[in-house]
Structure 1
Amino acid sequence: MKLNQNKLLLAMANACITIGELAEKSGVSRPALTKFTTGKSNPKPATLGKLAKALGVKPEELIED
């Protein structure tokens, strides 16, 4: 399961939320989010769930097809 950085960034844009705000809302560290948005790392399934919940989307909307 691989996170699609563009889908994550699009979900953030739709929610009008910054990386800092997403970090606060999801409980995921800002450095980890930066790695996810640049493609340097992929979140574990539980972390992906936290991000999706904070953005108000389903986890499958953030992964590559």
Structure 2
Amino acid sequence: MEINTKKLQIAMARKCMNPSDLAVAIGCTSTSIQQILRGARGVQMKKLGLISKALEVDPAELID
């Protein structure tokens, strides 16, 4: 699934999180989050749910 990277960056900024913070919050590597932010990697439903929960946004806000 494709995440809108701009919306993801905005949600991260609202929570004052950098890629490393988000990675720790959802239990993955910061490299994985950086790849998602670059658009080089899609996201499975479970990871989308974890990201949304960590950022306190609706998953629909993050997808294209």
- TM-score category of the 2 structures, normalised to the smaller one: over 0.9
| Moved beyond 3 Å, runs of 4+ | none
Q: Over aligned residue pairs, what C-alpha RMSD do you find?
A: 0.9
Residue of structure 1 in register with 2:27 after alignment: 27
2:38 is the alignment partner of 1:50:
no
Structure 2, gaps ≥5 residues long? none
Q: Which runs of 5+ in 1 are unaligned?
A: none
Q: Report how many aligned residue pairs link the two structures.
A: 64
When the two structures are superposed, what TM-score results if normalisation uses the length of structure 1? 0.92
Q: For residue 21 of structure 1, what is the amino acid of its counterpart?
A: D
Instruction: Indicate the percent of aligned positions where both proteins have the same amino acid.
Output: 34
